[in-house]
Chains A and B, each alone.
Chain A
Amino acid sequence: MTRQQAAASQQERSLRAVESPAERLTMVQAINQALKEEMERDEAVLVLGEDVGKDGGVFRVTEGLLDAFGPERVMDTPLAESGIVGFSIGLAAAGFRPVAEIQFMGFLYPALNQLFAHAARMRNRSRGRTNLPMVVRMPYGGGIHPPEHHSESYEALLVNTPGLKVVVPSTPYDAKGLLASAIRDEDPVVFLEPKRIYRAFREEVPSEPYTVPIGKAKVVKSGTDLTIIAYGSMVRQALEAHDALAHDGVSAEVVDLRTLSPVDAGTIIESVTKTGRAVVVHEAPRTGGFGAEIVALINERALLHLKAPVERVAGYDVVFPYALLENHYLPNRERVVAAAKRALEF
């Protein structure tokens, strides 16, 4: 954890009315704790997916759940993504709250028909009678030097699908609170876990259940000269850029979106109205990416406050490269700083 993040989380903790016992957890541990607590809280919560049982998940996110809750609530499934999501739809339609794991976002595609054609539409198709309180969680994004298909970030597809909610935490604290919210939500939530920072840092996480609301962004750093908007693992690049810019006397505000659908337009617009400049950062390809939506929102609602065009720092419009070249693909501090300077010098 950077000094700034520590300060930010310290600030957030001091705002909490009651200080509860806390441990320093990684994001993996925080998510695991959320699953455990929500399963204890509500017997309708089930966990299913490939390797989620005895193995505890390939990233160990579901470790210990099988022992704690048994094979009826923690189900190792056949290796079939469409089946995992479709089976969850049936379970949810009949009153359970399944939390399905897709092992990597790059393997989500066989399940897209189930997500798009059914999960996202069941409430509407049944005119509100049948809702699907289900979560589909999956590690996404690059930075861990894996083989092909293990690094994708296709959140834009999901955000363009009415009926879903899309949540992306960037810290252990938020990951636990947002997952609790997602599991308690009455509608399907896709929960994207930035695997690059699964274990990158620890943070104090209360041992008690708590929620972080879906649909609320967070101003992680206050600033006056420009706004850097990011989510997931890119929040760290944004914070590093913030520090580098501070060194040059630039005061950058950093907004962590936390939820992509429904996006918190209010926080974005308030910040950009104040600073007049913005850089949007994501690791998904640039064209048609979620950054374009943010730029459009700013144009619609804060155009006359802008002092420069909104900059996008994104993955390139190429297939996500194999391990050796991935660092050239992923946005980093330097690219964010360069974009900020273009906006400042416009």
Chain B
Amino acid sequence: MPRKIIHQAVTERLEILDRDGRVDKALLPDLSNDQLLTLYRMMIQMRKLDEKALNLQRQGRMGTYASLRGQEACQAGMALALEPQDWLVPSFREHGIMMLRGIPAHLVYAFWKGDERGDLFPEGVNCLPPSIPVGSQLIHAAGVGMALKLRQAAAVAVGFAGDGASSEGDFHEALNFAGVFQAQTVFLIQNNQWAISVPFKRQTAAESIAQKAHAYGIQGIQVDGNDVLAVYAAAKEAADRARSGGGPTLIEALTYRMENHTTADDAIRYRPAEELQFWRERDPIDRMRKFLVSRKLWNDKKEAALAEEAAAAIEAEVERLEAMPAPSPVEMFETMYAQMPWNLQEQRDEMAKEVGR
């Protein structure tokens, strides 16, 4: 028999919570009422974080900003699946989960304002600073996941990227290294359908990103990225598997970028309005609220209280942001090397004279 099948692949898609708030009980993850409420609260906190950033940007109090609106379920679902010792290796649209993992919102805002001190995270938060070159951070997630494996740590590294990143060579190299070395890594690709103006169809001829896992010999799954329960279930399964030495997973969360790519972009130039409407009806927060209401866990009063609480928390963070003294220009020399070489010392002194310090 000279010609035979050597590989056949099946790629699954997981949906648990539909747009009307109904769940598939057989697939519902084992979560307490508190945990269900936590997922909802996380998404509200992220939306407030995002709305405020857009406001500040319009008022000239923030730099160019990349909104995460519409992707709250992806980040909340993953956040709940993680343990304190786990690592984030984020791209530039993950400030929602970064905040949930312990990076205060005023630092998130500082980053987007153009203040590098926003990248000085609190001690003990295992998170690399956001990576802007698309897809390049995924290989770091493979490396961190390998480090965790070598240390026999019960922890996982999560690498984040979008659909555009799946076209980059480093996406391939990251999945390949993670597969070959069985690194303790989970890749969460938030397929928000648009890489600035280029639609997903132009990134690949494949039906999904999830199926690409097969080519690297690792696990892959697509989830409804606006379904926080599905994201959580897939993330938990993948993280538990990686932590226990079962190998890496590629999760594709199918979602939608509700805003412009950044505040410097104008998506009306390239996106049909009907598409936006389609996704507005599938909002991740709305459907979770409907589900919680149907379970008698939520009502208008609680909603109002949470909205007020989240807004107040964000306002306090904006105050902290705006109370930060201006960065000293000479700080740009301070963290280049463990020990400042002579040329930087000279240049720092030159600048210090110039700025009168």
Give A residues with C-beta under 8 Å from B: 46, 72, 75, 77-78, 80, 82-83, 86-96, 110, 113-114, 117-118, 122-131, 162-163, 165, 185-187, 215, 262-263, 265-266
Pick the contact of B131 from A88, A118, A163, A266 — CB < 8 Å? A118
Q: How far is the CB of A44 from chain B (nearest CB, A)?
A: 10
Pick the contact of B174 from A72, A77, A86, A163 — CB < 8 Å? A86
Please state if A86 and B143 are interface contacts (CB–CB under 8 Å).
yes
Please state if B173 and A93 are interface contacts (CB–CB under 8 Å).
no
Please state if A125 and B336 are interface contacts (CB–CB under 8 Å).
no
Please state if A90 and B334 are interface contacts (CB–CB under 8 Å).
no
Q: How far is the CB of A48 from chain B (nearest CB, A)?
A: 9
Please state if A128 and B144 are interface contacts (CB–CB under 8 Å).
no
| Chain B interface residue number, banded | 35 or more
Please state if B335 and A90 are interface contacts (CB–CB under 8 Å).
no
What CA separation (Å) do A61 and B52 show in the bound complex?
Answer: 56
Q: B272 within 8 Å of A by Cβ? A: no
Q: A123-B335, A131-B338 are in contact. List 7 more A-B contacts (CB 8 A).
A: A83-B176, A86-B170, A90-B143, A94-B143, A94-B157, A126-B335, A266-B342
Please state if A86 and B136 are interface contacts (CB–CB under 8 Å).
yes
A126 and B120 in contact, given A94-B147, A94-B148 (Cβ under 8 angstroms) = yes
A94 and B176 in contact, given A113-B133, A162-B336 (Cβ under 8 angstroms) = no
Q: B314 within 8 Å of A by Cβ? A: no
Which 10 A-B pairs have CB atoms at the shortest separation, nearest pair first? Answer: A90-B143, A86-B139, A94-B147, A262-B341, A83-B173, A127-B120, A186-B338, A128-B335, A90-B140, A87-B143
Q: How far is the CB of A190 from chain B (nearest CB, A)?
A: 14
Q: B181 within 8 Å of A by Cβ? A: yes
Closest chain B residue, CB of each to CB of A261: B341
What CA separation (Å) do A20 and B177 show in the bound complex?
Answer: 42
Please state if A117 and B173 are interface contacts (CB–CB under 8 Å).
no
Q: Residues of A contacting B145 with CB < 8 Å?
A: 90
Please state if B120 and A82 are interface contacts (CB–CB under 8 Å).
no
What CA separation (Å) do A89 and B343 show in the bound complex?
Answer: 26
Please state if A83 and B170 are interface contacts (CB–CB under 8 Å).
yes
Closest chain A residue, CB of each to CB of B343: A262
A94 and B177 in contact, given A82-B170, A123-B336, A126-B121 (Cβ under 8 angstroms) = no
Q: Residues of A contacting B143 with CB < 8 Å?
A: 86-94
12 contacts between A and B (CB under 8 A): A77-B180, A78-B177, A87-B177, A89-B143, A90-B144, A91-B146, A96-B150, A113-B170, A122-B128, A128-B334, A187-B338, A262-B341
